[in-house]
Amino acid sequence: MKEKMMSFSFKYGAILVILAVIVFFSIVNEYFFTYDNIADILRSISIVTLVAIGVTFSLIVDGFDLSVGSTVSITTVFVATLMVWYQYPLWLVFIGPLFVGGLIGLFNALLIVKIRIPDLLATLGTMYIISGIHRTYTKGYSIYNQMPLEDGKAAPGSFYESFLWIGQGRLLGIPVPVIIMVLAVGAVHIFLNYTRWGRLLYITGGNREAARLSGIQVNKIRTIAYVLSGAFAALGGILFAARVGSGQIDAGAPLLMESVAAVFVGYSVFGAGKPNVIGTFFGAVLIGVLLNGLTMLNFPYYTFEIIKGTVLVLALAVTFIHLRRKV
């Protein structure tokens, strides 16, 4: 009986917690469970979900990417400068930051796969390098419309309305970031579970040596995982810039903890016991619901870090207790 209860709580505990939190906040605040507020929650977690998908890819191959937060920051300010400083066309505004995110992932793969630096140390170093680069690039300033430049003149460009629509607009009454998030989650779920490359990622993460002996190009697969991690963090940075209408130099700072917490909460969703994109999405929902509900109850913002940390610790505890029991 105890084993069944443990198994049930591992499979459905996160879902039940989400439902319980929603019910609680709906009772204490009549405006919580409304279409507009639910849409706001989903819009708010869209960026976290995209970044967390990147972390999911790195964890699938038994790695870890600590540089996703800095990647969000550098791509956010880069996309802003392409419009505000240089007035480049919209297609380049999208392609450029994604290319930068992929390069960051490739650099991480070089350190981890080729030089064989442990992933935590390699991506920690990358995090600081990127943080220094994007601050040097912007000279420590956030990027916004008509900002003053060093020569005393105002920046010639501004955020394009078509770009801002991606972060602020609606399509058929649904926020565009929510649509992008759902499409990304669906596409990655299909990729991971129904394609050869997705299976290779899981096999490589499950047992690297066995995968190598089976003829799988392990280093190539791990490199792909880190490039995808960087690309999804960059996509999160693009969406962040479109949502706030400026390039914030510290945009990605709070996203690392939230994305990591979302991924580890997702380990237990439906008993997956491994990194998976559906679980990652539900983990992001849990964090989003908690932060939104606490905001509506007028909790001070500085307590939110406690909530995020607690969610992460509990998720790690549940995950590793279950993994030990399986062993």
Does 103 fall in a domain? yes
Residue 35 tokens, joined: 């279409």
Are 152 and 190 found together in one domain? yes
Higher-confidence residue: 2 or 196?
196
Residue 304 tokens, joined: 């939110």
Are 4 and 86 found together in one domain? no
Task: Convert the pLDDT of each residue in 26-64 to its tens digit.
Answer: 888 888 888 888 888 888 899 999 999 999 999 999 899
Highest mean pLDDT, choosing among 31-35, 165-169, 291-295, 303-307: 165-169
Residue-level pLDDT at 325 = 59
Q: Which of 141-145, 182-186, 192-196, 240-244 has the lowest mean pLDDT?
A: 141-145
Does 39 fall in a domain? no
Angle CA 61–62–66, to nearest 5 = 100
Does 23 fall in a domain? yes
Amino acid at 49: T
Which among 231, 212, 230, 234 is positioned nearest to 221, based on CA atoms? 212
The answer to whether the beta carbons of residues 267 and 260 sit under 8 Å apart is no
Whether the per-residue pLDDT at 103 is higher than 80: the answer is yes
38 three-state secondary structure: helix
Task: Convert the pLDDT of each residue in 241-288 to its tens digit.
Answer: 999 888 888 888 888 888 888 888 887 776 667 788 998 998 888 888
pTM attached to this predicted model: 0.90
Are 264 and 279 found together in one domain? yes
Residue-level pLDDT at 23 = 86
Report how many domains make up the chain.
2
Mean pLDDT of the 167-176 span: 87
Residue-level pLDDT at 44 = 87
Does 38 fall in a domain? no
Residue 111 tokens, joined: 């350190």
Are 24 and 82 found together in one domain? no
Domain boundary (196, 217, 249) is at 249
Does 228 fall in a domain? yes
**Ramachandran angles phi, psi of 180, nearest 5°:** -60, -45
Are 174 and 201 found together in one domain? yes
H or E, element range at 174: strand 174-175
Domain interval for residue 234: 54-249
DSSP string, 202-223: HHHHH-HHHHHHTT--HHHHHH
Mean pLDDT of the 218-247 span: 92
Residue-level pLDDT at 304 = 75
Task: Convert the pLDDT of each residue in 63-75 to its tens digit.
Answer: 998 999 999 999 9
Amino acid at 98: L
Does 43 fall in a domain? no
What rounded mean pLDDT belongs to the chain?
85
Residue-level pLDDT at 220 = 92
Residue 233 tokens, joined: 């963090």
Instruction: Tell me the C-alpha to C-alpha distance, in Å, between residue 183 and each of 76, 186, 187, 269.
Output: 21, 5, 6, 20
Are 210 and 260 found together in one domain? no
H or E, element range at 307: helix 304-326
Our measurement of the distance from residue 88's CA atom to the centroid of its chain's CA atoms, rounded to an integer in Å, reads 27
Does 201 fall in a domain? yes
Highest mean pLDDT, choosing among 134-138, 211-215, 229-233, 308-312: 229-233
Q: How far apart are CA 233 and CA 100, in angstroms?
A: 10
Residue-level pLDDT at 221 = 92
Are 193 and 68 found together in one domain? yes
Residue-level pLDDT at 236 = 93
Are 165 and 87 found together in one domain? yes
Q: Which of 76-90, 144-158, 311-325 has the lowest mean pLDDT?
A: 311-325
Domain boundary (249, 272, 292) is at 249
Are 125 and 209 found together in one domain? yes
CA-CA-CA-CA torsion sign (302, 307, 309, 312)? negative
Measure the N-to-C terminal CA separation of the chain; round to a whole number of Å: 20
Instruction: Tell me the C-alpha to C-alpha distance, in Å, between residue 96 and each of 99, 101, 191.
Output: 5, 9, 24
Are 70 and 20 found together in one domain? no
Whether the per-residue pLDDT at 327 is higher than 60: the answer is no
Are 218 and 323 found together in one domain? no
Are 86 and 210 found together in one domain? yes
Residue-level pLDDT at 4 = 65
DSSP code for 155: P
Higher-confidence residue: 105 or 139?
105
Domain boundary (203, 228, 249) is at 249
Higher-confidence residue: 208 or 186?
186
Residue-level pLDDT at 195 = 92
Strand partners of residue 148: 154
Whether the per-residue pLDDT at 10 is higher than 90: the answer is no
Does 46 fall in a domain? no
Residue-level pLDDT at 106 = 95
